[in-house]
A and B are shown apart, each in its own frame.
Chain A
Amino acid sequence: MLTDDQFIDQVRAELHAGLEVLKPSQELLEAIEALTPENDRLPHGSVVRPAGRNQRRWRGRVRATGAAISVLAAVIVVFVVVAVALTSLRQHHSSTPAAPGIAPNNGQIAFVGGSNGSVTGLELANPDGSGVREVGAVPDQCRGTAGGTGTECFAWSADGKQLAYLAGGAHDFTLYLVGASGQHPRRLSACGDCQGVSWSPDGSQIAVGRYLAGQMNVWVVNSTTGAMRRITSCPPNSLGKAGPYRLSCGDAGDVSVDALQWPPDGQRIFFIRWGVPTGGVEAVGSLGTVRPDGSDQTQLRIPGAETAQWSPDGRELAVDSFNGVYVVDADGTVRQLTKHQNSGAIAWSPDSSELAIATATAISTVHADGKAPTHLAAATLSARDWALAPAWSPNGKELVYGATTGRIGVEGIWTINADGSGRRLIYSSPRGESLDSGPIWSPDGTQLAFSSNHGTYVVNADGTDPHRIGQGLFGTFAWQPIPSSR
């Protein structure tokens, strides 16, 4: 019989021997070579490879025939040269000291990234790329590696007057508030191991997920005093029967609370509690809602739930799961809206009447009452496409989404009318660029923002004037709301 030390030695030896077969790919070695002074200078065309979702696509691309690559390369070289030239001009422009200020009509964009060689952190910029200034450092967890519209470490208040963000390190974060000027941040609360930032509609409170004393729960923070209050409790063994993992809300491992959302009516906070069930490997989500005062904590039993979104009127919660899209009414009634498998993203229309749904093969809309979906762009997408989350224009007449173009190594962003007409490619990525977060609309619907492995971009809704407002690998971002009353 082995002692623990002997057992550990055996495990250690097995791990080293077992993983010996796993060697860095040629692609990774090439990427390392690219991290040289010469190659690192070019923002476009860099071989630094995107993370995550695009991995398999990227591998497929490099297996294209030499002839195709040659033809594409010629086109792309021209594009990259133009893009780099434009980018250089713009970077030169934004390197000119600009007085921090608020753009007159279209708000500010908060984003994570770097700019002009500055340290990566939370920054603010005007949509034209001017006035870039760093607000503060943000935790590594908030910088993102890929995917989603991950603004979980910072968020604008509904009136657009304040930006709340987490700063710090080593799971000891502080919650700060700063105005749209980006100057003079105010320390609000010592949050500790927090994640997610979601404002109440009236701006009086901020919901966060907080890991404390071995439990992850939803807390609310008074945005004036900074006082924190826990509003959820941990249901015992909510994710699986007691067993080796004993995962409920304890500290046994992979348990977190995120995807916090506060609906416009402020009545119920939605959250997802993640954990690895007994005997499982991958985390599964348990969907819950709770009132801001901590009462009426409920658990929604929807299999395979991945994410959810409140309707703008706050009356329904749409849940995207492996099995399709579900809608939960205010009384808790759950109904299945579609049976799409592997839905990618959902988005409510501004009037709460329709949902846009992105799958691996199509962009479609469906009425919240369950009428047959309207396919908007099925014909041009294929099984190798991953549509980025669709977003409705503020007036509800158009949608924007991202997907691969069908050409090797090229992704694009399209706008399309809500009835499926008027599809227009407004941005085509140069080779080596991989789209990531967004796209999202500006408050007035005239511009769009998105991010890629090369930085955060803004482009006019008609496709003109694409420009980068900040560098950064897979930066996340949030556009300042501009309420109509302003």
Chain B
Amino acid sequence: MGSASGSGEAGLPGVEFGRFAARVAPSLVRSAYLLTGDRGHAEDLAQVTLWRTARHWEALSGSPDAYAHEVLVNLSRDRRRSLRRRPLEVAPLDHVVDRGQDDTEAWLERNAVVQAVRRLPRRQREVVVLRFFLDLLVAQAAAALGASEGTIKSYTARATAQLHVLLREDPSAAAAVLSEVPGAD
């Protein structure tokens, strides 16, 4: 992927990038949601990730997914900092509320596992997104986060333990998980 054959004119990405973007867009949006906890931000991060991937498409011989994952994580970190420096987001009063959107967000907010992941500390959350949601290998997650494999294993273990605790604490946790958590009442 990302070979010259997949490029459009003037060195810009072409049809091959389009296929790549269509394939990864859902997982990028969902990963970004887990990282940021905000659907709008998730869409933004997914878009910027794809934009940057497009810009570097020629150089990404064989591993655009890995590049996109790394960019997404970095953008989510940058996002947290930039949000702290700028005006709060306030929903315009005259906006029409999209019913479907409401339902989606309500669904996400009710999902105990999703919410538990969102409550994890940043580094643990990143590892969970990469390893449990994007199904990356330890080495791939290490490359995406710029960390050692040992660090990834360590954070994976800590995140798993943390999820045990969070899901046990949350009375609305999904029954399928809650009932099987070791030590759960």
Contacts and interface: CB of A to CB of B under 8 A. Distances in A.
Q: Do A and B come from one complex?
A: yes
Interface of A: 1-2, 4, 6-8, 10-12, 14-16, 18-19, 21-25, 27-29, 31-33, 35-37, 40-41, 48-53, 55-57, 59-60, 63, 114, 120, 139-141, 143-150, 152, 169-172, 195, 244-245, 247, 251-254, 256, 258-259, 272, 274, 276, 281, 283, 285, 306-307, 322, 342-345, 358-360, 383-384, 386-389, 473
B68 interface: no
Nearest to B40: A55
Contact of B39 (A1, A14, A22): A22
A18 B113 contact: yes
Interface residues of B, number: 88
A36 B120 CA distance: 37
Most buried by A among B108, B113, B174: B113
Most buried by B among A15, A251, A281: A15
Given A29-B25, A60-B92, 15 more contacts: A2-B181, A10-B177, A15-B132, A19-B111, A28-B29, A28-B46, A32-B22, A37-B9, A55-B43, A140-B78, A145-B45, A145-B82, A244-B162, A384-B93, A386-B87
Nearest to A283: B80
B110 to A, nearest CB: 9
Nearest to B90: A360
A251 B133 contact: no
Nearest to A253: B121
Contact of B12 (A40, A169, A345, A359): A40
Given A18-B111, A18-B113, A23-B26, A53 B121 contact: no
A52 B87 contact: no
B87 A31 contact: no
A160 to B, nearest CB: 23
A145 B71 CA distance: 11
A14 B78 contact: no
Interface in B43-83: 43-48, 50-51, 54-55, 70-71, 74-75, 77-83
Given A32-B22, A254-B80, A244 B181 contact: no
Report the 10 A-B pairs with minimum CB-CB distance, sorted nearest first: A253-B121, A170-B146, A344-B87, A148-B85, A51-B44, A147-B82, A55-B40, A147-B86, A37-B8, A384-B92
A259 B33 CA distance: 26
Nearest to A49: B47
A150 B48 CA distance: 17
A38 to B, nearest CB: 9
Interface string B86-125: 1111111111100000001001100111100111111111
B107 A274 contact: no
Nearest to B133: A15
A19 B37 contact: no
A347 B33 CA distance: 33
A147 B21 contact: no
Contacts of A152: 81
A11 B176 CA distance: 10
Contacts of A114: 55
Contacts of A345: 86-87
Contact of B121 (A15, A21, A252, A387): A252
B47 A51 contact: yes
14 contacts: A11-B163, A14-B114, A18-B114, A32-B18, A37-B10, A40-B12, A40-B54, A41-B10, A51-B79, A52-B89, A55-B41, A145-B45, A172-B146, A259-B85
Contacts of A342: 87-88, 90
A159 B76 CA distance: 34
A53 to B, nearest CB: 6
A348 to B, nearest CB: 16
B84 A285 contact: yes
A313 to B, nearest CB: 23
B87 A387 contact: yes
A253 B120 contact: yes
Contact of B44 (A40, A146, A389): A146
A35 B164 contact: no
Contacts of B124: 253
A344 B86 contact: yes
B47 A48 contact: yes
Contacts of A171: 146
A35 B54 contact: yes
A211 B66 CA distance: 25
Contacts of A63: 95-96
Contacts of B113: 11, 14-15, 18
A195 B91 CA distance: 31
B74 A140 contact: yes
